[in-house]
Amino acid sequence: MKALILVGGFGTRLRPLTLSLPKPLVDFCNKPTVMHQIEALVEVGVTHVILGVGYRADVMETELKKHEERLGITITLSYEEEPLGTAGPLALAKEMLVDEGNEKFFVLNADVICSYPFKSMLDFHEKHGGEGTICVTKVEEPSRYGVVVYNENGKIDRFVEKPQTFVSNKINAGIYLFNKDILERIELKPTSIEKKIFPEMSKEGELYAMELQGYWMDVGQPKDFIVGSNLYLANAAQHTPGILSKHPCVFGNVLVHETATIGKDCQIGPDVVIGPGVVVEDGVCIQNSTIMSSSRIGSHTWISNSIVGWRCRIGKWVRLEGVSVLGEDVAIKDELYVNGGRILPHKEIGSSVPTPTIIM
């Protein structure tokens, strides 16, 4: 089987992290985001993954070649010279997606983190016999989204954009399984699969919805990245508790890479991810945050609700909070306060940032 992952453009919502790496390669819970998806696809027999990219394809190709051999699969890039929306990339990759014996393929939004129910999707798709299956997920406030209306068998009746009265609380989760026939519907031009292709398919009775069980999050912006990390850790606590840290300074669900070091009298957690080679000095408190590889956190620093990028140096007695995001190689001097700062790579911060600010 094959799969197409829609990577898209510049990752502007996740800056400053995406100024150093393309969004799919940014570490999510100590693994590039896209590798969570690729490894789950491999488990159900996908042998060829195509990435629809429009930005920094060279960096993507170099990094993913390392994983190609490890997983025993083929990873190919399909480069968009102009943005093609969410349907156009299928037409662009048509020749790669279709060959003899390949009757269906997965399509994923690269920002989606969940439990990836690919086996259940295959079974459901086979059972209903339609042209397409989309995963849907339940939301608390459907009026903020476009919702999916379908019958008890999953056959989609219609899509309703931001309904003001209740018609459904299920939204498109950005994970699809299609028969190759869908490619005949899509022209090689900028096209929205959600607004043009899906309504056509539902009118013909060819599109079905499967409700996603468990957690789901689009992690394409910092606050959702943090929430998504928490959901991932909670899911790990339930299904794969062995990957979580049992360090005496850890409280709640915490993921610590085996090469990281944690000093004395720290309080790490709940909901913390600590990456490879990170050094956490004595007396540090971290909660609801991610610390990426090779960063150093000075003693008695307090970090909450933030993302610290690669190779950062945080001084002693620093307070970092308010969805602060530090790009690669940022240095913060001792005894400073950063609240909601978005700090671009290679900057040195010598004074406090008391209100949310982009520091260039």
Q: Active-site positions?
A: 162
Are the beta carbons of 268 and 259 closer than 8 angstroms? no
Using alpha carbons only, give the angle 212, 217, 221 rounded to the nearest 5 degrees: 160
CB count within 10 Å of CB 329 equals: 17
Q: In sequence order, what are the residues at sequence separation of 6 or more whose Cβ sits closer than 8 angstroms to the Cβ of residue 123?
A: none
Q: Which residues of 132-143 are buried (b: 16+ CB within 10 A; e: fewer)?
A: bbbbbbeeeebe
Q: Choose among 208, 55, 27, 25: nearest CA to 126.
A: 208
Distance CA 3, CA 85 (A): 17
- R_g over Cα of the chain: 21
Are the beta carbons of 267 and 251 closer than 8 angstroms? yes
Residue type, 170: K
Distance CA 38, CA 49 (A): 7
Distance CA 8, CA 169 (A): 27
Are the beta carbons of 130 and 222 closer than 8 angstroms? no
DSSP one-letter string for 32-93: BHHHHHHHHHHHTT--EEEEEE-S-HHHHHHHHHHHHHHHT-EEEEEE-SS--BTTHHHHHT
